[in-house]
Amino acid sequence: MKQFIPQKICLKCLGCCRFANSRSKWSPCLLSREIKIFKKKHIPLFLRPKSKKLRLVSGNDQFFCPFFNVVKNSCGIYGVRPFDCQLYPFMLRKRKNKVYIAVDINCPYIEKTFRGKKFNRYLNNLIIFLSQPSIKNIIRRDSQIIGNFPEKTVINLACLPLNK
């Protein structure tokens, strides 16, 4: 899946991969197949017990993704980063038993591009991608990828028909 934010811009931002607390709702989640890939590539699994969310590490009054290099402001597994990370600043969000494609309105790139041509084109392609039967099956099987993000930080963009 092609990322919405260009890599150079994304890696210059000082917002992603950093969290306010160790159990942040924003902590990336791994799909079952990503866990298998990580094991095969000998990438350590930093998962919370009974969860597929990454266990965050602490430092300087913040928490970080365990694969994030704070000094270099880079991802140590960028080439195989989780689907959750690839999708960001878009995310899957549950609200009243429905699943939505949502966007983080605190992302600086979203502030600049929200509802522009590039944004709308990407959103349309994302809807098509996430509506494929194989992807819908992955989402249903790994439903932990669907978050309960706070209203004031995300905007629901489109409802995903996962039941069909």
Domain boundaries, the chain: 7-160
pTM: 0.90
Mean predicted confidence (pLDDT) in 94-98: 88
Contacts of 34-40 spanning 24+ positions with Cβ under 8 A? 34/80, 34/82, 34/83, 37/80, 38/80
- Supply the DSSP symbol for 27: S
Q: Residue 164 pLDDT more than 70?
A: no
Segment 44-95, tens digit of pLDDT: 999 998 889 999 999 878 999 999 998 888 889 988 999 999 999 999 999 8
